[in-house]
Amino acid sequence: MNLWAATLEVDPIRVDFDDCAAYGLSADELVGQDYAPTQALADAVRESGADAMTVPSAALPGTYNLILFGVRVLNPFLRQPLTPEEVPTGHLTDAGRAPAEVAAHVRWFGAPHTAAEQWKTTGTYDLFDDPITTRW
C-alpha cells in the first residue's frame, strides 16, 4: 500500500447509510463484498456532475473513503498548480502498512460491518476512535 498526501479543493457528495437507498443501495450493499452496487453508485454520482464523493469504508468501520472523479495530475507538493487537474501531492510511503493498533479494527472478508450493523439497530453509528499509539 502506498500512502500519499494531497491538497484538494473538492466538494464531495456524501453518501452514507441514511441516504444510500436514494441511490438504490442498502446499507449492506454500501459496504458489501460485491463491487457492482458501489460502482453503479459512483457512476450515478459522477454523472450528476460531482467531482468527488465520500462513502463509509468497507474495510475500517466508522471511517470514510474519499473518491475523486476525473483526471488528476500529480504535482510536487509545494509547487502551485497551474491547471485545475494538477494536485499537489507528496508520496509518503512505498509498501506501507496500517499501524498494528489499527489492525484489530479492520473488517476482514466475510465479517459483519460493525458500523452498518449498529446503524441498522440504532439509526446511528460510532465513528472510528484512533487507538493510542503503543510504539514510537
Residue 2's pLDDT is 80
Cα 15 to Cα 52: distance, rounded to the nearest angstrom: 11
At 42, the pLDDT band (50, 70, 90 cuts) reads: very high
Kindly tell me if the per-residue pLDDT of 107 is higher than 70: yes
Work out whether strand 52-56 and strand 13-14 pair parallel, antiparallel, or are unpaired. parallel
Query: If we measure between CA atoms, which residue out of 131, 98, 129, 120 comes closest to residue 16?
Result: 120
At 15, the pLDDT band (50, 70, 90 cuts) reads: very high
Residue 126's pLDDT is 96
Calculate mean pLDDT across residues 74-87. Answer: 89
Residue 136's pLDDT is 60
| Residue 93: partners with Cβ closer than 8 Å, 6 or more residues away | 1, 2, 3
Q: How many CA atoms lie within 13 A of 55 on its CB side?
A: 23
Calculate mean pLDDT across residues 61-85. Answer: 92
Kindly tell me if the per-residue pLDDT of 98 is higher than 90: no
Higher pLDDT, 120 or 2: 120
